[in-house]
Chains A and B, each alone.
Chain A
Amino acid sequence: MALLRTDKITMQFSGLTAVLDLNIEINDREIIGLIGPNGAGKTTAFNMITGVYKPTKGQVYYNDKDVTGLKPHEITKFGIARTFQNIRLFKELTVLDNVIIANHLRLKSNLFGSVVRTPGYRREEQHIYEKSMALLKDVGLEDLKDEKSSNLPYGKQRRLEIARALATDPKLLLLDEPAAGMNPQESHELMGFIREIRDKFDIAILMIEHHMQVVMGVCERIYVLDYGVTIAEGLPDAIQNDPKVIEAYLGVD
């Protein structure tokens, strides 16, 4: 049984078909790449899976349950978390608060309990604090916990965004261009980091990435989109030598 399966999802914006009949299948603990030239519809595919857009056609199944058209916060509750292409941290809040907020969706206490600070709420809050600190330690940001998140350097903001997504206890993590703007050294570290979080948190990862070294180095299977159409899928080696992929990226003469 696949963890996530999309059945011919299509997204049309009036006349423009951004994604056509996309079929993705992700199993537990897999690292999957989604690549394609700019404007191929990769982020649109993400937005359909996470509920930002409702697909014009097709279904999204998570653990064989139809989750098509649910609100983003409901999808996150099921266990799909994401990061954003252009980092979307809670800028004015501290690094620690960013991670703590991502625990809110699993909070059992109600509003009243949180205001009068019932023992049950305080236990939960303490647990969330410890869990968040452990997460920050995992991504190497524990020393910066009281820093305003917008003050972090770019690479660390990306890490914080991943930590925040992990705090929602996902089974599937969607990373939208995690290596964007990173230098070779940083992107090399990122490859190790992605494998690390997969092993530690026992999750599947679907990532959009332009950085070919990262994609080929870390992904187990790859889907290639071009103008919304899936032109290839398979193992990294096969993708690298696929004439259609080469054509989409480099053009033909």
Chain B
Amino acid sequence: MKNRNIAVLNITLDSYKIKIFTLCGIYIILGLSMNLINGFTGLFSLGHAGFMAVGAYVSALLTMSPELKDSVFYVAPINPFIKMIQLPFPLALIVGGLAAAGIAFLIGAPVLRLNDDYLAIATLGFSEIIRVVITNTQTLTNGSLGLKGITRYTNAWWAWGIAILTIFFMIWLIHGMYGKAFKAIREDEIAAEAMGISLFKHKMMSFVIGAFFAGVGGGLLGHLIGAIDPNMFRFILTFNILLIVVLGGIGSITGTIISATAVTILMEALRFIENPINLGFINIPGIPGMRMVVFSLMLMGVILFYPKGLMGRAEFNWDYFLKKKFLRNRKKSA
């Protein structure tokens, strides 16, 4: 049902590939939201999984029907108030995003006074706290059993539609006066403050906007997979998104788009290395987690050879691309 209206895609891609394509869109949203906080504002935040969890849980609870909730919450009955609310999918996504933004606002007040590593540790801690709270509030979240049977509303249209909206939002934000203020904070906090930019206010803005999109991304992910539980939102999820941001270039929108797509596709394409492989002369047993080893090696390679990521802070642009090619050709002929 979920792919009924993707007629064009259905001709060329099977449902597995469409799912990967949809995931690419979601990871673009997540990558961009983290790049806003970490790349453009220079805040080393590692709380993304927490914000995603909030978005995923809130939006899933809002789209599930009361009957479904009753059957899912079989250990501890659900809070009757939450049981009765049901919202259409787009509205649930927005509310999920707003909930994540609200949590970010609360966390930001103490945490955004910290810098660098301290901020990273504090946000990481808060992200774990969110996960632990979700695990232990059975009547709200069904605890460690998670939510199951979520209607799979997320399809390629939703994921990519929102991804494109996010891309435009980020471009306009970054090129506007507020985006410039964010970049000023990244470049030099003391100078930015001396130029009249309130550090706390602008860091908070960036943090809350980033968390909003992380929440929306989390909601989309939940409605794509159809089941969520607290273990999905461990630090490794934040790491995956950080990987996308660092590979693409911290502070590059196009870099994030390219690397989000590449990493998501590779994440699936490299599945074969976790299977037992017979090379004729040697038998490699299947090792689960081998993909992350490959990605970690890739990350090390990029850090060594392109310390600023593939795109650095630059944006992909045809003029530059063509000029470079043209120059190279000219050099050859000279």
Contacts of A90 in B (CB 8 A): 183-184, 187-188, 191-192
On whether the beta carbons of A114 and B176 are closer than 8 Å, the reply is: yes
Q: Cβ of B194 < 8 Å from any Cβ of A?
A: yes
Query: In whole angstroms, how far apart are the Cα atoms of A84 and B191 in the complex?
Result: 8
Given contacts A88-B190, A104-B177, contact A168 B195 (CB under 8 A): yes
Q: Cβ of A111 < 8 Å from any Cβ of B?
A: yes
Contacts of B158-205 to chain A: CB distance below 8 A: 169, 172-173, 176-181, 183-184, 187-188, 190-199, 205
Q: Cβ of A115 < 8 Å from any Cβ of B?
A: yes
From A6-14, A69-77, A205-213, the one touching the partner chain is: A69-77
Query: In whole angstroms, how far apart are the Cα atoms of A97 and B180 in the complex?
Result: 8
On whether the beta carbons of A128 and B198 are closer than 8 Å, the reply is: no
Q: How far is the CB of A110 from chain B (nearest CB, A)?
A: 9
Query: In whole angstroms, how far apart are the Cα atoms of A91 and B187 in the complex?
Result: 7
Query: In whole angstroms, how far apart are the Cα atoms of A109 and B180 in the complex?
Result: 14
Q: How far is the CB of A107 from chain B (nearest CB, A)?
A: 5
Contacts of B205 in A (CB 8 A): 111
Contacts of A128 in B (CB 8 A): 177
Query: In whole angstroms, how far apart are the Cα atoms of A97 and B186 in the complex?
Result: 14
Q: Cβ of B313 < 8 Å from any Cβ of A?
A: yes
Mask: chain A, 100-139; 1 = CB below 8 Å from B; 0 = not: 1111111101010011110001001100100000000000
Q: Cβ of A64 < 8 Å from any Cβ of B?
A: no
Q: Cβ of A26 < 8 Å from any Cβ of B?
A: no
Query: In whole angstroms, how far apart are the Cα atoms of A116 and B173 in the complex?
Result: 9
Mask: chain B, 28-59; 1 = CB below 8 Å from A; 0 = not: 00000000000000000000000000000000
Query: In whole angstroms, how far apart are the Cα atoms of A8 and B177 in the complex?
Result: 39
Query: In whole angstroms, how far apart are the Cα atoms of A124 and B178 in the complex?
Result: 13
Contacts of A93 in B (CB 8 A): 180, 183-184, 187
On whether the beta carbons of B193 and A72 are closer than 8 Å, the reply is: yes
Interface centre among A71, A114, A124, A164 (most CB of B within 10 A): A114
Mask: chain A, 160-181; 1 = CB below 8 Å from B; 0 = not: 0000110110000000000000
Q: Cβ of A81 < 8 Å from any Cβ of B?
A: yes
Contacts of A111 in B (CB 8 A): 173, 178, 205
Q: Cβ of A32 < 8 Å from any Cβ of B?
A: no
Interface size class of B (residues with CB under 8 A): 20 to 34
Contacts of A115 in B (CB 8 A): 169, 172-173, 176, 178
Q: Cβ of A50 < 8 Å from any Cβ of B?
A: yes
Interface centre among B172, B184, B187, B196 (most CB of A within 10 A): B196
Contacts of B276-327 to chain A: CB distance below 8 A: 313
Query: In whole angstroms, how far apart are the Cα atoms of A19 and B148 in the complex?
Result: 66
Given contacts A89-B191, A168-B196, contact A101 B184 (CB under 8 A): yes
Query: In whole angstroms, how far apart are the Cα atoms of A70 and B192 in the complex?
Result: 16
Q: Cβ of A220 < 8 Å from any Cβ of B?
A: no
Contacts of B198 in A (CB 8 A): 71, 73
On whether the beta carbons of A117 and B193 are closer than 8 Å, the reply is: no
Contacts of A92 in B (CB 8 A): 183, 187, 313
Interface size class of A (residues with CB under 8 A): 35 or more
Query: In whole angstroms, how far apart are the Cα atoms of A121 and B195 in the complex?
Result: 20
On whether the beta carbons of A100 and B180 are closer than 8 Å, the reply is: yes
Q: How far is the CB of B208 from chain A (nearest CB, A)?
A: 10
On whether the beta carbons of B188 and A73 are closer than 8 Å, the reply is: no
Q: How far is the CB of B153 from chain A (nearest CB, A)?
A: 26
Q: How far is the CB of B200 from chain A (nearest CB, A)?
A: 9
Q: Cβ of A82 < 8 Å from any Cβ of B?
A: yes
Contacts of A18-73 to chain B: CB distance below 8 A: 50, 52, 71-73
Contacts of A77 in B (CB 8 A): 196
Contacts of A107 in B (CB 8 A): 177
Contacts of A73 in B (CB 8 A): 193-199
On whether the beta carbons of A81 and B180 are closer than 8 Å, the reply is: no
Contacts of B192 in A (CB 8 A): 90, 101
Contacts of B181 in A (CB 8 A): 101, 104
Q: How far is the CB of A207 from chain B (nearest CB, A)?
A: 16
Q: How far is the CB of A113 from chain B (nearest CB, A)?
A: 9
Query: In whole angstroms, how far apart are the Cα atoms of A102 and B178 in the complex?
Result: 12
Residue of B whose beta carbon sits closest to that of A88: B191
Residues of B within 8 A of A (CB): 169, 172-173, 176-181, 183-184, 187-188, 190-199, 205, 313
What would be 25 A-B contacts, judged by CB atoms less than 8 Å apart? A72-B194, A73-B194, A73-B198, A76-B194, A81-B195, A84-B190, A90-B183, A90-B187, A90-B191, A91-B187, A92-B187, A93-B184, A100-B180, A101-B180, A101-B183, A101-B192, A101-B197, A102-B196, A111-B173, A114-B176, A114-B179, A115-B169, A115-B172, A115-B173, A168-B196
**Additional pairs, 15, CB under 8 Å, beyond known A90-B187, A93-B184:** A76-B194, A84-B190, A90-B183, A92-B183, A100-B180, A101-B184, A111-B205, A114-B172, A115-B176, A121-B176, A121-B177, A125-B177, A128-B177, A164-B195, A167-B195
The 3 closest A-B pairs by CB, nearest first: A105-B196, A114-B176, A90-B187
